[in-house]
Structure 1
Amino acid sequence: MSSRCVARLESTTSTPRGRAEASTTLVGCARHRECTMAAAGSDPVRALDGVRVVECGVAIAGPLAGRYLAHLGADVIKVESRSRSAALGMRAPAWAPPDVGLAGGDMLAGNNTFNAQKRGVGLELKSPEGRDLLDRLIEQSDVFLTNFSVPAINSLRIDYEHVRAVNPDIVYVSMPGYGSGEGPYRDYKSWGPNLSSFSGLDYLTGDPDRQPAMTPVPLPDYIAGYHAVTAIISALLHRQRGGAGQWIDISQFESAVATLGPYIGQVSLGGEEPDRTGNRSPSSAPRGVFPTSEDDRWVAVSARTDDEFRTLARIVGQPEWADDARLQTAEGRRAHEDELEAAIAGWCAGRTREEAAYVLQAAGVAAAPVQDHLDHLADPQLRARRFWHLVRHAWLDADLIDGLPFHLDDTPVRHEDASPALGGDNADILAGLADLSPDRIEELAETGAVSAPADPPPGDAKPERPYFGWALPLLRMSRDADMPAGADGVATDRPARPGSSSTSPAGAGPVDGLRVVDLSDGMSAYGARLLAHLGADVVRVEPPEGASIRHEGPYADNRSLLQLYMDGGKRSVTLSLDDPADAATFEELCASADLVYTADEDALAIAQAAREANPELATVAVTPFGLTGPYRAWAADDLTLWALSGILQLTGYPDRRPLIPGAMLAKYFVGQVGAIAALAALYARTHTGRGQLADVSAHEVLLSTSQGGTGLPTLIEDANPRRRTGSSALGSSPYGYYTCSDRLVCLHALTVGHWDALASWIHEETGAEGVLEERFRASSMVRKQYDDEVQEYVDSLAGRYEADEFCKEAQRRGIPAAPVNPTGAMLRDPHLAALDYWSDAEQPGLGRIRWPGAPFRMDGTPWAGAAPAPESGQHNADLADGGPWRPRGDGTG
């Protein structure tokens, strides 16, 4: 990390609401503490210092969780084997020297997306010696994390019973596609795309007159990965407060279904089956993506309120709209959205995407250019927020990674190293934790029990990624100024903890006893929901007219199903922060709390002042663009934030405008990361004794979520063109939707084994000899050049089956496949029924609503079931007599 700090401390004498309080605002660099420590030559304290994690992860979900823990300071040891990497087709990038050897696999840019900051050890777990060494690592660790399938977990003897026998106090995390419970899909093979179609997510992306459109990134992997980090830190916090280790089982299928809450509630109440709506919203209109004066360059525009609509009307030359009786409400405007969009499109067509967006933002209307990933090189907001980082790499001169999408002002996030080379830390790990001599490590490498690291690339100078010559100037980076200053490292000493004598009552959640003051909006509310269901006392503070989330669709009898889902189990009080007496009461409430979780910067200023009375108070600000940078004051919603992420540009049909990923997923990703930041701040408090500010940028959350396979480093390295492809995927074949006799299925034959099984099945059923040709047996990326032929072969097979039967037979043959399901199918799903997944709540005025159950299962600190959402101000009586809230529980750490 550079010691060059661009921050300044700006003192103010009043809060944004005019209260006479002194406050200090950090301007220009949200990592000021880290910069100051680096300049002073001291290592910053990290939130998860002293935590050790052993990760047996593959693909995205498990490694993503491990990466977050590593950035937060944990010592994450990634366990890999050379044989498994070969089976997954790990290869050198095209630009690597021809004689690079095994080191080439370590140079893939995509490795950094999920494995930065970790240490790497090479163990062959199928060998007795390799498996024994894994046990030695587990014995000295706090967390064991794997997203292997249930059959693989059992065959390698890394199930909970085996791991707990080695370390009874471990936090054990399994992440198989369909969970470890005894449901009919338990042993199914899965990848993120199959889970996206199976869970009902894909069905909601696209236009209603077309079949669903695939997103370019397997979003369920991120849903599961973010849920895993939330569960892990909450379990560590529980253990740090005197609790025991436990088993966290994360079904990636159930985790994805959890993000469909409002739609599940709609169907359970007898409402219509949710359908694709393009870029339109049930809550606001007009909202869409419009062509500009440049070829395939678009701008996203969203009139979120009546006032924004009137401003938009004036700007696009339609002032008469403001007086049109048909257009005075969002509902009325939705009925005439085609007419409105035509006029907006005409105005946008005469401008570049940046011109259109900047003019609208200057007037307070939510708008954003639809960016591709190359645009992120020169984005001024990302530069100001230091989103990109130059880091050390085992074989390269330097490497580029994206940062975590939040800043912690007291225990900063670590951005020092790229992903480890396979086995690159064998000597340190096996000597330090397994007490092996160098000779013994070499002997085990010769027998294959240990995967030795690759030889360095040939030549004296380290290779350089070929794009650095032109990309770094655009990023305004240089090795001299922006490379890490020294070997910061991770804290590997594990401090003593209290014994397992938790004061929480039996059946309590992992954060029982914590109080959270919640001022979230629709974009961030899922984070507070997670904290409430993990056991916190969450108090929603609303203005007298009610929180804005109460006006967001979908609706049932004019009640927001989004609000009912997000606010179940919370308390609600109403306060006007513009009123001095209410503001003082709010400050008292904050001083009684452990955490203030807010999307309101005015409320944040009051909460920061409350830290004088309660230095242990943690505050989390979840805002569209974070608290710093040139976009800080921009208006935004999920459409405009997706527009800036790079995903919108690549989602949709080749002959139409870009499309937003369906199912309101942005709200879940942002909320998940908000919960992670909150829990990290609370865990850090257990060893610093003080609270801190976490600054979460929704923009950066979605940008981070776009990095897997389509992100900036991968894009500029492989130089493959990116485009919208409808219902097929970029760069791999077969990978997409295929047509059965009744509906679509999603199939992804990634490995040679998958293809061989599929080709044999096609040959058996159709007699086609060509499908067995050797040219198809290369990697799925090589097969992409024959995509039309592959599509014809697969469709010829799929058309002989109904979707459910096709998928059962595909899974029997070891081929990842799943039907493309609508939302209602989840309520009839036999796997979810067998696992007793659903959670019902009696909501006054509506009756019994069925909601998704837990996104993860914790056997020691269970998830709180569904509860009704409060009416606005329902708990105002709790503020009576000057507002003495009950004392905080034992959650202060």
Structure 2
Amino acid sequence: MSSRCVARLESTTSTPRGRAEASTTLVGCARHRECTMAAAGSDPVRALDGVRVVECGVAIAGPLAGRYLAHLGADVIKVESRSRSAALGMRAPAWAPPDVGLAGGDMLAGNNTFNAQKRGVGLELKSPEGRDLLDRLIEQSDVFLTNFSVPAINSLRIDYEHVRAVNPDIVYVSMPGYGSGEGPYRDYKSWGPNLSSFSGLDYLTGDPDRQPAMTPVPLPDYIAGYHAVTAIISALLHRQRGGAGQWIDISQFESAVATLGPYIGQVSLGGEEPDRTGNRSPSSAPRGVFPTSEDDRWVAVSARTDDEFRTLARIVGQPEWADDARLQTAEGRRAHEDELEAAIAGWCAGRTREEAAYVLQAAGVAAAPVQDHLDHLADPQLRARRFWHLVRHAWLDADLIDGLPFHLDDTPVRHEDASPALGGDNADILAGLADLSPDRIEELAETGAVSAPADPPPGDAKPERPYFGWALPLLRMSRDADMPAGADGVATDRPARPGSSSTSPAGAGPVDGLRVVDLSDGMSAYGARLLAHLGADVVRVEPPEGASIRHEGPYADNRSLLQLYMDGGKRSVTLSLDDPADAATFEELCASADLVYTADEDALAIAQAAREANPELATVAVTPFGLTGPYRAWAADDLTLWALSGILQLTGYPDRRPLIPGAMLAKYFVGQVGAIAALAALYARTHTGRGQLADVSAHEVLLSTSQGGTGLPTLIEDANPRRRTGSSALGSSPYGYYTCSDRLVCLLALTVGHWDALASWIHEETGAEGVLEERFRASSMVRKQYDDEVQEYVDSLAGRYEADEFCKEAQRRGIPAAPVNPTGAMLRDPHLAALDYWSDAEQPGLGRIRWPGAPFRMDGTPWAGAAPAPESGQHNADLADGGPWRPRGDGTG
């Protein structure tokens, strides 16, 4: 336990609205229960204790899903091979000792972003012995997870039929780029950037007078990874309640398209093709990023409401705006946003980004400094929330990882170990699960069937990351106070599955029968949408004037398409929590539920009180900054949250201000993590028999999502400056957009094989001899120094083709490439059509709307199709007079 832990639980006798209700408030360290149990000498219970996962993952999406499961307590066994790591160019960091050998690949800071908390086993799956050992692990596991391509899955015989034959009860998860269905892209090679362009996400990032801007992180990998965790825990819940194992197939392409729901709905209704809008919003104005008195330092400002606009007008010295007839509505302000932005920019220019943001926040206006990743070293909110963790590492004296972006107050998230060394747990895993002797393990290592762990780095003392000397003081961390105590690690015992009094009906969703009370806002609503489509009875509780999400764009006939997409299939009741009678009814409703999912802290206080009547009730608070810390009361929207994440500073064009990632992605990431926290809290009842509070910080969600390749540990290790680069990647080449005869394509060549295939094609078509020079074959990072030449070579090839034909030929040659598509192209996409992806709903007043289908396919518990969203208060009659909540019945939605 840290000597600086000051956690305590304070009992209070009033709620934020002044009602005399008992509640509990978390004060100080958000890991109170973990610290308390550590002090008592006992290990805390984790949400997924007893679950074993075998992961054959690569890159981001699969490993990210495995990492979340490991942090939540599952025993995640990462299967790797030395040959695969060599093919991906796993090298020692530049600071490592020159004779570090194979251990250097285990020291890369980026490994921790996706592999912390796991155990590692080295198996060569192409060998019969290695493949047999994998079967022995699968036989004793609950989940098998892979994001290999379909051809790789089939060649290694790790497809569902083979795995199910070994363990019929397993939850099998495949995550190929374009899914396992028989569509035309099934065997395509894909990486996150290709999926971002292909799905239409990239098209919406940038300014309308420029080509799209590339985000510095491949965001579709995170979309797929978060969806995978959601699907896996829901499948485990289904199995725990008497159901069987099943196949979850996650097409990363379909998963990304699912985040375009409101835009797809807009086009399907005959609306305009969505375009790039910079940092502006369809729902409010002004909203933008403005230069401050410091060079390349910016502040994000968003006037979300009429009141915030009037306050902003006063602060920036424009009080006359409050009486200007043109500016009385958001629509009017959007029409004059250039004029408003000019005045705001003038005010910001005389202040630092922190000064501007703090003055505006003190007055209740959403604002935030645009942070880069180094700013996260000293951010007071991250420090208060203990976002960074010192952990054990196989070869180093200590390591630094980011935490999960939520806290569970009864089954705390685990933050103890860095990523495992390749094969580092061979002895424990192969002896414990495959019953192999040390001699037999050594024999298999000599034949290559087992990848032996590297020798330790030379010297008596473990190496230290060179930045620890200056970074840890800024983080206010030390090894003595902040290293995890003991070396117990993850619980590897797999007890018998607990019995359950409930059953999951055949053909129903995985969480069918669970009731969710939903008070989400636009930032968190996607989590409740996922729960509804997984089978839960989700009841949206709105104030009499309607939930705020009903006023968020884009719109069709003044109806919020965001709300229609997020609330489809739910019920709606209206209650005023300021009214004592309605508050009492709300508390009874909460007491009848399994979960309360809320962005409203006042509602949370009532829900916490309802746990006295229903101890199994789980509560999830999804708020901008979590329930603790100095930013807790800050106003925020997706722009200001992205500003604090580090991604905004790196997205956009070198000669312009930073830009928000398009397509409202913040709302999906936050909602996905909200659903994960909710399902983890529900599954934890298996062990504890009681509900708990999950505290989700939207700020930390987006910061976590920014860590891949650009985050703090990688940045301070490689010391490469990060900057906005427009339509190319920061550190690799070729990696970016290239110009075909009709539109842009996204192409990347990360491996030597990719480059050789591309260089050969360029030489065949153009006759350029220079492209075959050996200097280009080193690595994509080395090629970056020749980026202008590489760009010229690739453009000379791309210009000979239309985008679709170029990408087909690239894929035939094994080169990851995809067109940069607009949203409307998805509705005409042959792959999605072949898979019968779309889901239509008849919405009263608008007609038939086409929505994205399931972001993942579960063969045993189907995803609920599209359904109309309810009118505000449509199901008030389902509330019996002052009594219990009526169960779902005919005609209730």
Aligned 8 A contact 1:136 1:434 in 2: yes
Offset at residue 623 of structure 1 (A): 0.1
Residue ranges of structure 1 left out of the alignment (5+ in a row): none
Distance 2:381 2:794 in 1: 45
Offset at residue 11 of structure 1 (A): 2.9
Offset at residue 498 of structure 1 (A): 6.0
Relative distance call for 1:161 and 1:812 in structure 2 (3 A) is same
SS state of the match for residue 516, structure 1? Answer: strand
SS state of the match for residue 891, structure 2? Answer: helix
- Stretches of 4+ moved more than 4 A in 1? 498-502, 887-893
Offset at residue 2 of structure 1 (A): 2.9
Residue-by-residue CA offset, 1:473-509 (whole Å, 9 max, x unaligned): 0000000000001123222222222689983333100
Residue-by-residue CA offset, 1:851-877 (whole Å, 9 max, x unaligned): 000000000001000000000000000
The residue that corresponds to 1:261 in the other structure is: 261
Aligned 8 A contact 1:3 1:36 in 2: no
Aligned 8 A contact 2:417 2:489 in 1: no
SS state of the match for residue 892, structure 1? Answer: coil
Relative distance call for 1:715 and 1:868 in structure 2 (3 A) is same
Aligned 8 A contact 2:237 2:510 in 1: yes
Offset at residue 29 of structure 1 (A): 1.3
Offset at residue 23 of structure 1 (A): 1.7
Distance 2:750 2:200 in 1: 22
Aligned 8 A contact 1:593 1:888 in 2: no
Offset at residue 7 of structure 1 (A): 1.3
Distance 2:740 2:502 in 1: 54
Distance 1:348 1:379 in 2: 21
Distance 2:327 2:841 in 1: 36
SS state of the match for residue 736, structure 1? Answer: strand
The residue that corresponds to 1:601 in the other structure is: 601
Relative distance call for 1:879 and 1:852 in structure 2 (3 A) is same
Offset at residue 881 of structure 1 (A): 2.0
Aligned 8 A contact 1:624 1:697 in 2: yes
The residue that corresponds to 2:564 in the other structure is: 564
Distance 2:43 2:498 in 1: 26
Residue-by-residue CA offset, 1:518-559 (whole Å, 9 max, x unaligned): 000000000000000000000000000000000000000000
Distance 2:5 2:682 in 1: 26
Distance 1:410 1:299 in 2: 38
Offset at residue 892 of structure 1 (A): 22
Residue-by-residue CA offset, 1:48-74 (whole Å, 9 max, x unaligned): 000000000000000000000000000
Residue-by-residue CA offset, 1:735-778 (whole Å, 9 max, x unaligned): 00000000000001100000000000000000000000000001
Aligned 8 A contact 2:238 2:504 in 1: no
Aligned 8 A contact 1:518 1:596 in 2: yes
Relative distance call for 1:502 and 1:164 in structure 2 (3 A) is farther
SS state of the match for residue 36, structure 1? Answer: helix
Aligned 8 A contact 1:391 1:415 in 2: yes
Offset at residue 8 of structure 1 (A): 2.7
Aligned 8 A contact 1:183 1:831 in 2: yes
Relative distance call for 1:889 and 1:858 in structure 2 (3 A) is farther
Q: Give runs of aligned pairs for residues 9-408 of structure 1, distance below 5 A.
A: 9-408=9-408
Relative distance call for 1:889 and 1:422 in structure 2 (3 A) is farther
Relative distance call for 1:458 and 1:498 in structure 2 (3 A) is closer
Aligned 8 A contact 1:242 1:498 in 2: no
Aligned 8 A contact 2:370 2:643 in 1: yes
Distance 2:3 2:161 in 1: 47
Q: Mean alpha-carbon deviation: is it higher for 25-34 or for 608-617? A: 25-34
Distance 1:84 1:892 in 2: 53
Q: CA RMSD in A?
A: 1.8
Residue-by-residue CA offset, 1:427-459 (whole Å, 9 max, x unaligned): 000000000000000000000000000000000
Aligned 8 A contact 1:243 1:499 in 2: no
Distance 1:445 1:889 in 2: 61
SS state of the match for residue 685, structure 2? Answer: helix
Aligned 8 A contact 2:242 2:504 in 1: no
SS state of the match for residue 850, structure 1? Answer: strand
Residue-by-residue CA offset, 1:690-738 (whole Å, 9 max, x unaligned): 0000000000000000000000000000001100000001100000000
Aligned 8 A contact 2:571 2:892 in 1: no
Aligned 8 A contact 1:513 1:891 in 2: no
Offset at residue 883 of structure 1 (A): 3.5
Aligned 8 A contact 1:743 1:803 in 2: yes
Offset at residue 890 of structure 1 (A): 19
Residue-by-residue CA offset, 1:233-268 (whole Å, 9 max, x unaligned): 000000011100000000000000000000000000
Aligned 8 A contact 2:498 2:686 in 1: no
Offset at residue 164 of structure 1 (A): 0.2
Relative distance call for 1:298 and 1:37 in structure 2 (3 A) is same
Distance 1:478 1:583 in 2: 46
Aligned 8 A contact 1:670 1:701 in 2: yes
Distance 1:145 1:344 in 2: 50
Relative distance call for 1:48 and 1:889 in structure 2 (3 A) is farther
Distance 1:351 1:791 in 2: 39
Residue ranges of structure 2 left out of the alignment (5+ in a row): none
Distance 2:496 2:90 in 1: 40
Q: Mean alpha-carbon deviation: is it higher for 28-37 or for 527-536? A: 28-37
Distance 1:662 1:888 in 2: 37
Aligned 8 A contact 1:4 1:35 in 2: no
Aligned 8 A contact 2:24 2:608 in 1: no
Distance 1:883 1:551 in 2: 32
Distance 2:630 2:4 in 1: 20
Distance 1:82 1:30 in 2: 39
Aligned 8 A contact 1:512 1:891 in 2: no
Distance 1:465 1:249 in 2: 39
The residue that corresponds to 2:862 in the other structure is: 862
SS state of the match for residue 596, structure 2? Answer: strand
Relative distance call for 1:572 and 1:888 in structure 2 (3 A) is closer
SS state of the match for residue 163, structure 2? Answer: helix
Relative distance call for 1:891 and 1:550 in structure 2 (3 A) is closer
Aligned 8 A contact 1:392 1:484 in 2: yes
SS state of the match for residue 113, structure 2? Answer: helix
Relative distance call for 1:663 and 1:340 in structure 2 (3 A) is same
Aligned 8 A contact 2:810 2:816 in 1: yes
Distance 1:891 1:175 in 2: 37
Aligned 8 A contact 2:857 2:863 in 1: yes
Aligned 8 A contact 1:3 1:485 in 2: no
Aligned 8 A contact 2:619 2:692 in 1: yes
Distance 2:556 2:794 in 1: 41
SS state of the match for residue 890, structure 1? Answer: coil
Distance 2:886 2:310 in 1: 46
Relative distance call for 1:378 and 1:500 in structure 2 (3 A) is closer
Aligned 8 A contact 2:213 2:651 in 1: yes
Aligned 8 A contact 1:258 1:852 in 2: yes
SS state of the match for residue 120, structure 1? Answer: strand
State TM-score, norm by structure 1: 0.99
Offset at residue 101 of structure 1 (A): 0.2
Distance 2:326 2:498 in 1: 65
The residue that corresponds to 1:721 in the other structure is: 721
SS state of the match for residue 604, structure 2? Answer: helix
Distance 2:621 2:556 in 1: 30
Aligned 8 A contact 1:748 1:816 in 2: yes
Distance 2:843 2:613 in 1: 38
Aligned 8 A contact 1:239 1:500 in 2: no
Offset at residue 792 of structure 1 (A): 0.1
Aligned 8 A contact 2:373 2:715 in 1: yes
Offset at residue 4 of structure 1 (A): 4.3
Distance 1:349 1:518 in 2: 42
Q: Mean alpha-carbon deviation: is it higher for 762-771 or for 17-26? A: 17-26
Residue-by-residue CA offset, 1:150-175 (whole Å, 9 max, x unaligned): 00000000000000000000000000
Distance 1:416 1:890 in 2: 50
Distance 1:575 1:663 in 2: 32
Relative distance call for 1:668 and 1:293 in structure 2 (3 A) is same
SS state of the match for residue 189, structure 2? Answer: coil
Offset at residue 212 of structure 1 (A): 0.0
Aligned 8 A contact 2:426 2:452 in 1: yes
Question: Identity of aligned pairs, percent?
Answer: 100
Offset at residue 885 of structure 1 (A): 1.5
Offset at residue 26 of structure 1 (A): 1.0
